[in-house]
Amino acid sequence: MQIIENPTQYDVVIVGSGAGGGMATKILAEAGLKVAVIEAGPFFDPANPEQQTQLKWPYESPRRGAGSTRAFGEFDMAYGGWEIEGEPYNQIGNSKFDWFRSRMLGGRTNHWGRISLRFGPRDFKSKDRDGLGENWPISYEDIKPYYDKVDQLIGVFGSKEDLPNEPDGYFLPPPKPRLHELYYKKGAEKTGVKVIPSRLSILTKRINNERGVCFYCRQCSRSCSVYADFSSGSCLIFPAQKSKGQVDLYVNSMVREVTVNDQGKATGVLYINKEDRQEYRVTGKVVVLAASACSTARILLNSKSAMHPNGLGNSSGMIGHYLHDSTGTDRMAFVPEMMNRKRYNEDGVGGMHLYSPWWLDNKKLDFPRGYHIEVWGGMGMPSYGTAFNPNDLNKYLGLTVGGYGNGLREDVKKFYGSVMGMSGRGESIARYENYCEIDPTAVDEFGIPVLRFNYQWSDYERKQSRHMHDTFEEIIHNMGGIVLGEKPGADKDYGLLNPGRIIHEVGTTRMGSNPDTSVVNEFEQMHDVKNVFIVDAGPFVSQADKNPTWTILALAWRTSDFIIDALKKQNI
């Protein structure tokens, strides 16, 4: 079968339309460039009534919100999940890496938690403190101007706190905490754990006339139909389409490889159209990869040529290595004082209104790096699973568990809103031994070789998870709550979730100044291939305990400025 050639010569071909791809599209198109965006999933606009799930009720679906079709419940706005039919991945040995992919315009930004934290000065130079991992080749000062611009372009609420490693930004005002969050604050502060208003990219206040203001339905995970949360499509791609450049979207298009010329320079990409299953080629002067850390590694490793026998830009052999996800574990609490609650609408924004940034000094601890604590609970919208085990909590009150009859109605109403939870999300250490690579024995349904993973946690991460549970229990005790569930022991890795579960995987094409030990330079430009850039989380040297999105956006903007400049000077 012949490759179908696209006659258009683009300035830039961008692979992926999530946070990094969206930002690159916006900045490059605004500079007047001709841009192709290749997205593996369908077109998506949260304002499209045919795709919208926001404000739907559970009874509008026969499964009442259950998660059989989408991992976080059927109203969650991620087309995909940890398992996608026809797109397998494999493990090496007893590795258990769970790989979440969202196939749609905007990618995972359509459903994410909008937790928008800057990395702090210490986060870029962690090796200086504990000798572990590697320092970034850039510092906070290099990226700060871009964080400032991202804040103002996209909008993030928060409060100025003047903390050493949690830099302040250009914040919108935060919403007041909910009741269960006040209980958390009470318990945490008594425990000596710092609590501050959370920092989420949700518009509590208008930032322009194109996007609406939050109307407090708590459903950011469904992607906001008035564009009051940050989703890459609504906040970056659509505005880019209105700019002076040309933006052509190719959806349902699965990129297989980056093509190169005889000099080993990139010429564009080959993709499979998912609808006709034909192979297409799009060409451009520059290729920007933003397919997500692991998908980008896969594309590069599948792009073998005479000049790049180990995969494109892989002379160092580092592509796929240093893969790392956030650590994570969760715990729930029953707060008897919150039984029989007065009813009112406490939906609030989609996520917590306050949280705890890392507050301790590692010198006194048996693990490196830190974690932050997220809080959840409240009188939320019922969904599949609501009222399961309706009165198990009666055992803490000396009352009967189980039964039948209308007493169950009263039990369900009594306990509604009295259970809350907390989640620790921490920094793991990036290690060469944790990697993804091409599995020579398997392809996906498009005939593209798939990834296999080798990922093991170390005691650093396990001890961190143990510390999280110790902290949760103390906080729960101090807020007058009852800890639910057994404390996970060593046999369960202290409750540490599988790598990949927190969906912050980064590091597969790490940044550095030495081409022998890194894949891209500080401008996310491949050491080996000057016209290929990577603007997803692949270039992250380390993770911090911060959610990666805000740093992906800031770096992608910085890289886009570099590309514009280089194209002007005809340097690439």
Partner 1 sequence: MNRRDSIRSLFLGSMVGGLALESCVTSSGETLSKKVWDYQYGRTPEEKAYDEELLNQQFFEDTEIATLTRLANLILPPSPEGTIEEAGVPEFIEFIVKDFPTLQTRMRGGLMWLKNHCNRNYGKAFVQCSEDEQFAVLDQIAYPDPNAKEQKQEVQFFSLVRNLVLTGYFTSEKGIQELGYQGNQPNVWDGVPDDVLKDHGMEYDPEWTSKFLNVDTRNEIAQWDDQGNLIS
Considering only residues 35 through 54, tell me which ones interact with partner 1, judged by CB under 8 A: 42-43, 45, 47-48, 50-53
Q: Which is nearer to partner 1, 391 or 521 (CB)?
A: 391
Among 92, 132, 163, 182, binds partner 1 (CB under 8 A): 182
Say how many Å lie between the first and final Cα of the chain, rounded: 33
Q: Which of residues 263-322 bind partner 1 (CB under 8 A)?
A: 271, 273-276, 278, 280
Q: Which of residues 333-352 bind partner 1 (CB under 8 A)?
A: 337-338, 341-349
Q: Which of residues 365-384 bind partner 1 (CB under 8 A)?
A: 379-384
Which is nearest to 375 in space by CA: 408, 346, 353, 406?
Answer: 353
Q: Which is nearer to partner 1, 264 or 382 (CB)?
A: 382
Candidate ranges 65-73, 109-117, 429-437, 442-450; the one touching partner 1 (CB under 8 A): 65-73
Among 412, 482, 484, 566, binds partner 1 (CB under 8 A): 412
SS3 376: strand
Q: Characterize the bridge pairing of strands 90-91 and 101-102.
A: unpaired
* Separation of alpha carbons 291 and 287, rounded Å: 12
447 binds partner 1 (CB under 8 A): no
Among 409, 447, 492, 514, binds partner 1 (CB under 8 A): 409
* Separation of alpha carbons 104 and 500, rounded Å: 20
472 binds partner 1 (CB under 8 A): no
Q: Which is nearer to partner 1, 479 or 526 (CB)?
A: 479
| Residue 86: how many other CB atoms lie within 10 Å | 8
Q: Which is nearer to partner 1, 79 or 140 (CB)?
A: 79
Question: Which of the 8 DSSP states describes residue 158?
Answer: -
Q: Which two tokens stand for residue 16?
A: 């992926």
Q: Which is nearer to partner 1, 236 or 297 (CB)?
A: 236
Q: How far is the CB of 468 from partner 1 (least distance, A)?
A: 25
Q: How far is the CB of 285 from partner 1 (least distance, A)?
A: 19
**CB-based contact 261:303 (threshold 8 Å):** no
Q: Which is nearer to partner 1, 185 or 504 (CB)?
A: 185
Which is nearest to 503 in space by CA: 201, 81, 197?
Answer: 81
* Separation of alpha carbons 119 and 559, rounded Å: 17
Q: 61 - beta bridge partners? A: none
SS3 129: helix
Q: How far is the CB of 316 from partner 1 (least distance, A)?
A: 33
* Separation of alpha carbons 396 and 417, rounded Å: 16
Candidate ranges 235-243, 303-311, 443-451, 530-538; the one touching partner 1 (CB under 8 A): 235-243
* Separation of alpha carbons 495 and 468, rounded Å: 9
* Separation of alpha carbons 21 and 550, rounded Å: 13
Among 185, 425, 462, 527, binds partner 1 (CB under 8 A): 185
Q: Which of residues 512-531 bind partner 1 (CB under 8 A)?
A: none
How many residues contact partner 1, by CB under 8 A? 117
Q: Which is nearer to partner 1, 340 or 513 (CB)?
A: 340
244 binds partner 1 (CB under 8 A): no
Which is nearest to 396 in space by CA: 487, 478, 334, 477?
Answer: 334
Q: How far is the CB of 70 from partner 1 (least distance, A)?
A: 8
| Residue 424: how many other CB atoms lie within 10 Å | 26
Among 2, 7, 62, 93, binds partner 1 (CB under 8 A): 62
Q: How far is the CB of 431 from partner 1 (least distance, A)?
A: 36
Which is nearest to 255 in space by CA: 192, 187, 334, 312?
Answer: 312
**CB-based contact 396:335 (threshold 8 Å):** no
129 binds partner 1 (CB under 8 A): no
Q: How far is the CB of 535 from partner 1 (least distance, A)?
A: 21
Which is nearest to 136 in space by CA: 144, 127, 145?
Answer: 127
**CB-based contact 506:537 (threshold 8 Å):** yes
Q: 202 - beta bridge partners? A: 229
Q: How far is the CB of 344 from partner 1 (least distance, A)?
A: 6
Q: Which is nearer to partner 1, 245 or 320 (CB)?
A: 245
Q: 443 - beta bridge partners? A: 449
Q: Which two tokens stand for residue 234?
A: 């609504």
Q: Which is nearer to partner 1, 84 or 92 (CB)?
A: 84
Q: Which of residues 186-215 bind partner 1 (CB under 8 A)?
A: 186, 197, 204-209, 213, 215
Which is nearest to 323 in space by CA: 425, 465, 432?
Answer: 432
Which is nearest to 457 in space by CA: 491, 415, 428?
Answer: 428
Site map (CB under 8 A) of partner 1, residues 146-175, x = contact:
--x--xx--x-x-xx-------xxxxxxxx
5 binds partner 1 (CB under 8 A): no
401 binds partner 1 (CB under 8 A): yes
> How far from the centroid of its chain's Cα atoms is residue 406's Cα?
43
Among 61, 95, 165, 517, binds partner 1 (CB under 8 A): 61
Q: Which of residues 132-151 bind partner 1 (CB under 8 A)?
A: 148, 151
* Separation of alpha carbons 454 and 465, rounded Å: 21
125 binds partner 1 (CB under 8 A): no
Candidate ranges 19-27, 69-77, 261-269, 518-526; the one touching partner 1 (CB under 8 A): 69-77
